[in-house]
Amino acid sequence: MDRHTLVSTVPTDHRSSQSVSNAVPAMISVLILTKNEEQDLPGCLKSVSWSDDVHVFDSCSNDRTVDIAQQAGAHVTIRPFDGYASQRNAALGAAFTNDWILILDADERVPLELVTELTKRIQQAGPEVSGFRIRRRDYFNNTWLKHSQMTPFYVRLVRKGKAHYHREINEVLQVDGTIQDVDGYFEHYPFSKGLSHWLSKHNVYSTLEAKRWIEENSGTIEFSLKKALFSKDFGEKRYHQKGLFYKIPGRPVIKWLYMVIWRRSFLDGYAGITNATLQAIYEYFIVIKTKEMLTKRTP
């Protein structure tokens, strides 16, 4: 299959849980990006059964992901993975029925209370509003990481044709228009597949982060302390904060102390301390891989 080939299928049947959506107006399409998500996808699909337009954009899974999506009545598109940002941008180009798109990963869940709030906000939104920022609750097993979660706000509901991704790793969603904050939250289970899977995934991420750091610091990008502290654009603010943080020595230790002491991760118990330690390990991966890459580049 050519790496840019798209294979799409239409729903073959109706979702058995469609009755759940009776109390919720069908105003929001759902986009779920997948790669071998047979474990988590059923729960995600169940949590969005209120939508009349669910799309699963798959990166050539070799498990039952596609079958599960088709059996649930979702529109399925298969596209070979060629990058995080490019894959998500291709997914945003799908033929959505509704004007608003809710973007999810398979390990995320949407409480019905949030759908009600999003529907209300959409009805109130003027034409200048193109996106909504929603709080996310991360869980370690069944424990909400209330104090040890680094960034709880994510732009996940966007107007069709008004958003695109840039930055290859930990990609940033750029929205053409105003972004508003929404009360309520959606749920995220990053450790649902176990610690080995989390470490394996972040091993890949850390390599990409190291490459990105070298590219950005070899070019003309200048990170601004002013924007890192005072920018009204949340995405821009986080971008400059991260760029400046990457210039600080001892980042793994600083990150662990910041999470455990300043953010009080210890109040989340074992789950909070474990998450803070894993985040510090991830930061250490980036540091040592960056040094290794720079050493190989030096004659």
pLDDT at 151: 79
Shared domain check, 212 and 101:
no
Q: What is the 3-state secondary structure (H, E, C) of 164-218?
A: EEECCCCCEEEECCEEEEEEEEEEECCCCCCHHHHHHHHHHHHHHHHHHHHHHHH
Encoded amino acid at 71, one letter: Q
pLDDT at 175: 96
What is the average pLDDT across 209-234?
A: 77
Domain final residue pick, 188, 214, 231: 188
pLDDT at 226: 79
Shared domain check, 199 and 153:
no
Shared domain check, 169 and 47:
yes
Shared domain check, 288 and 162:
no
pLDDT at 110: 97
Q: How many domains does the chain have?
A: 2
pLDDT at 236 over 80: no
Shared domain check, 128 and 51:
yes
What is the span of the domain harbouring residue 292? Answer: 195-297
- pLDDT bucket at 60, cuts 50 / 70 / 90: very high
Task: Copy the structure tokens of residue 10.
Answer: 């239409």
Shared domain check, 205 and 144:
no
Domain final residue pick, 150, 168, 188: 188
Instruction: Give pLDDT tens digits for 71-117.
Output: 999 999 999 999 999 999 999 999 999 999 999 999 999 999 999 99
Shared domain check, 157 and 47:
yes
